[in-house]
């Protein structure tokens, strides 16, 4: 007898609520934490941002700066195992750490034109376009939930711990309700 384990997002049944805030679930995004001396950044198979709170993106990958020697590599076009392998191979001759943290956070993305305004009601960082735009990322709070935000052209992905995922969706729905759908 074998047991089949089915992976399920805590937001699996919240598509209507996400749609109400112009959001969508990003299912099973591969997330890999990389720790390495930034002096070895050129060994990476893709650019590692060296400036605080910046991100690099291509079609399938995003690399978010989390600290002076830490990055979060996201992949929508490949498995975490593949990302771990490519990073472990690239940094094989250096002191480094590569860890699959995919189960650590749920990914959702806000895509509405007013997404930054929506977030600004519950986020303490400066989301003014002069300070926040594509290529920026931040570890911050949304209400009482710790999240990672990053900005891409046309969307703002949010990474949140699974236990706070429903709270974040409920919070964004309440902001939308209170602000009267302005800009929606």
The pLDDT assigned to 184 comes to: 46
Whether 182 has a pLDDT exceeding 60, the answer reads: no
DSSP 90-132: HTTTS-EEEEE-GGG-EEEEE-STTHHHHHHTT--S---TTT-
Of 74, 81, 80, the closest CA to residue 137 belongs to 74
Question: Whole-model pTM?
Answer: 0.93
Average pLDDT over residues 163-183: 89
The pLDDT assigned to 8 comes to: 77
pLDDT per residue as tens digits for the range 28-84: 899 999 999 999 999 999 999 999 999 999 989 999 999 999 999 999 988 999 999
pLDDT over 90 for what percent of the chain? 88
Higher pLDDT: 12 or 148? It is 148
Whether 4 has a pLDDT exceeding 80, the answer reads: no
The pLDDT assigned to 73 comes to: 98
d(CA 17, CA 166) in angstroms, rounded, equals: 10
Whether 2 has a pLDDT exceeding 70, the answer reads: no
**3-class SS of residue 39:** helix
Please give the domain boundaries of the chain with CATH numbers for all domains. 15-178 (3.30.1360.120)
Q: Which tokens go with 90?
A: 């690239």
pLDDT per residue as tens digits for the range 13-42: 999 999 999 999 998 899 999 999 999 999
Average pLDDT over residues 78-95: 96
Alpha-carbon Rg for the chain in angstroms? 17
């Amino acid at each position: 007898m074998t047991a089949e384990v089915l992976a399920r997002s805590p937001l699996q049944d919240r598509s209507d609520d996400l749609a109400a805030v112009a959001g969508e679930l990003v299912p099973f995004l591969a997330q890999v934490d990389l720790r390495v001396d930034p002096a070895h950044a050129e060994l990476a198979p893709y650019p590692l941002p060296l400036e605080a709170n910046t991100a690099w993106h291509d079609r399938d990958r995003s690399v978010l700066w989390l600290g002076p020697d830490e990055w979060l590599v996201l992949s929508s076009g490949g498995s975490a195992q593949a990302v771990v392998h490519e990073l472990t191979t690239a940094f094989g001759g250096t002191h480094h750490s590569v860890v699959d943290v995919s189960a650590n956070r749920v990914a959702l993305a806000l895509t509405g034109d007013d997404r930054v305004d929506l977030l600004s009601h519950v986020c303490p960082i400066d989301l003014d376009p002069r300070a926040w735009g594509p290529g920026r990322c931040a570890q911050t709070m949304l209400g009482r939930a710790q999240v990672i935000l990053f900005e891409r052209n046309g969307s703002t992905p949010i990474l949140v711990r699974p236990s706070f995922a429903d709270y974040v969706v409920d919070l964004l729905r309440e902001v939308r309700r209170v602000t009267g759908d302005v800009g929606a």
